[in-house]
Structure 1
Amino acid sequence: MKTFLKIIGIILLLLIVYAVIAVLAFSKDYHYEKSVVINAPKEKVWTYVGSLKGYNMWDPFSKEVRDISITYSGDGDKVGDSYHWKGDESEGEQSITAIVPNEKMMTKLHFIQPFDGSAKATFIITPEGTGTKVTWSIDNELSPMMKIMKPMMDNNMGKMFNQGLADLKKLSEK
């Protein structure tokens, strides 16, 4: 029994040490990005990247929200246009902050539930050989608790971005 308690104590001590190191060493600035090359002209890809309605056709995050309802403000393709989502244990809004047709769209995310927060997303499309490269990134500021969870966030973001970009590729290459 003493050996078991020692093992539990060591594990707890390692977790505490990791948490202290994470809070002190990890940057509060969080950036994550992924890219994919799509075998389609940029004008076709832009229909899914350059508007909020197009984005919601492949957005992996909204697919995770049960009983989601989305309400748009504007057509979803101009600066100031936005949408609000609400579902089981998730609510927020995303609005366009900058747009360069067929090249770039930047948005601001405001998370309301399950936690209050904000982030910025950027979608950039560029020619790549005979196709189109899409780079999707997200930036936000991490609280001390979120710094501790950064490795799990990176893992989750990787899965979600890969799924979303794969769905975007399928839609665009149809």
Structure 2
Amino acid sequence: MKTLLKIIGIIIVLVLIYAVIAVLAFSKDYHYEKSVVINAPKEKVWQHTNSLQAYNTWDPFSKEIKNFSVTYSGPGNQPGSSYHWKGDGSEGEQSITEIIPNEKLGTRLHFIQPFEGTAKSNIILTPEGSGTKVTWMIDNELTPMMKIMKPLMNGNMDKMFSQGLGDLKKLAEK
């Protein structure tokens, strides 16, 4: 019994040490990006990334939310266009901040639930051989609690970005 209590005590101390190090050492600036090469010209890929409606056909995050509903505002493919989402335990808004046809879709995310926050996201298309390299990135500022969860965030972002870019690749290569 004493051995078990010692092990539990050591685990708790290690978790606390990690938390303090994470809060003090990890940068508050968070950047994540992932790329995929799609065997299609960028004009074809752009059809699946040029608006919020097109983005939502392959966006993996909306597929994870139960009872997901979305309300669009504006034409969806111009700066200022936005959508509001709501689902079980999740709510937020995404708005277009920049569009360069066949090259870039820039957006601002405003998270309302489960945590208040903002982030910037970009989808960049560049020619790569006979195909198109799509780079999807997100930037935001981490709260102290988010710093502690950064390794979990990286794993989740990798999973979600891989799924989304894989779905985009399937759509654009049809």
Aligned to 1:15: 15
Aligned to 2:76, what secondary structure does the other structure show?
coil
- Identical positions, percent: 74
Is there any run of 5+ residues in structure 1 with no aligned partner, and where?
Answer: none
**2-side partners of 1:74 and 1:171: how far apart?**
24
Report the TM-score when normalising by structure 2: 0.99
Q: Does 1:147 align with 2:132?
A: no
Write the mapping of 1:13-162 to structure 2, written as runs, cut at 5 A.
13-162=13-162
How many residues are paired up? 174
Q: CA deviation at 1:114?
A: 1.0
Cα RMSD after superposing both structures: 0.6
**1-side partners of 2:107 and 2:64: how far apart?**
20
Aligned to 1:49, what secondary structure does the other structure show?
coil
**2-side partners of 1:70 and 1:173: how far apart?**
27
Kindly provide the amino acid, as one letter, of the partner of residue 14 in structure 1: L
**CA deviation profile, 1:74-129 (whole Å, cap 9, x unmatched):** 12110000011111111111000111110011100001111111100000000000
Moved more, 83-92 or 152-161: 83-92
**2-side partners of 1:95 and 1:101: how far apart?**
17
Q: CA deviation at 1:30?
A: 0.2
Aligned to 1:171: 171
Kindly provide the amino acid, as one letter, of the partner of residue 132 in structure 2: T
Q: CA deviation at 1:21?
A: 0.4
Report the TM-score when normalising by structure 1: 0.99
**1-side partners of 2:69 and 2:3: how far apart?**
53
Is there any run of 5+ residues in structure 2 with no aligned partner, and where?
Answer: none
Aligned to 2:6: 6
